[in-house]
Chain A
Amino acid sequence: DSGVTQTPKHLITATGQRVTLRCSPRSGDLSVYWYQQSLDQGLQFLIQYYNGEERAKGNILERFSAQQFPDLHSELNLSSLELGDSALYFCASSVDHGSSYNEQFFGPGTRLTVL
């Protein structure tokens, strides 16, 4: 158990709908990362938040958005869903010790299926 929790574990929805994925980082971790893993592919970085602020953005679609709340949990919002959005969505968290390396701890993922 990494200490990172994600809900729900599975989500099945229809095209055109909107869903929200939730992530609670490890206690004390200020950074949250979202990654997308399409079928049998590597993980693609979507977005990173640090202490409530957006820090880095990857190949995230405009239909997707995220935020990090004062209690440091994060939500990833996916709207106008398409079949191709079906994937495993991972959240990871890390502490911040300035310029030194900080390991990312991954949650169990949310499996999204768009029908």
Chain B
Amino acid sequence: AQTVTQSQPEMSVQEAETVTLSCTYDTSESDYYLFWYKQPPSRQMILVIRQEAYKQQNATENRFSVNFQKAAKSFSLKISDSQLGDAAMYFCAYGRNFGNEKLTFGTGTRLTIIP
């Protein structure tokens, strides 16, 4: 079974600084996707970024980028120029690349932005 581990229950960062959230996962599959979801106080699940396992290039979306280390099964999220609106719970998730498959989530990291 696949597992996703987020070892940082809470993180904080000064506004405009950079922060990195960690995620490790375990799978025997070779073809899969990894995701970072943001959950603000509204509780809505918002997809931040996704990475396809067969792509060596790290995904980027504006201020958000990932460091994907497939051999190490590590998938960290870097947020640059942190903004107050980035304050939220961040969940790492895994999905097998086999059409419609469930997502397996980590337990989340609560990110606080310090003005």
Contacts and interface: CB of A to CB of B under 8 A. Distances in A.
Interface in A73-99: 88, 90, 92, 94, 96-99
A98 B102 contact: no
Given A42-B91, A55-B100, A109 B43 contact: yes
A102 B91 CA distance: 19
- How many residues of B sit at the interface, in one of the four size bands? 20 to 34
B43 A42 contact: no
A101 B98 CA distance: 7
Contacts of A31: 100
Contacts of A55: 100
Contacts, number: 65
Given A106-B44, A108-B43, A97 B99 contact: yes
A48 B98 CA distance: 14
11 contacts: A33-B102, A40-B110, A42-B108, A43-B93, A45-B104, A88-B43, A92-B45, A96-B100, A100-B97, A101-B52, A101-B95
The 10 closest A-B pairs by CB, nearest first: A42-B105, A106-B45, A45-B102, A31-B100, A43-B105, A42-B107, A99-B99, A96-B100, A42-B106, A102-B100
Interface of B: 4, 33, 42-45, 47, 50, 52, 89, 91, 93, 95, 97-108, 110
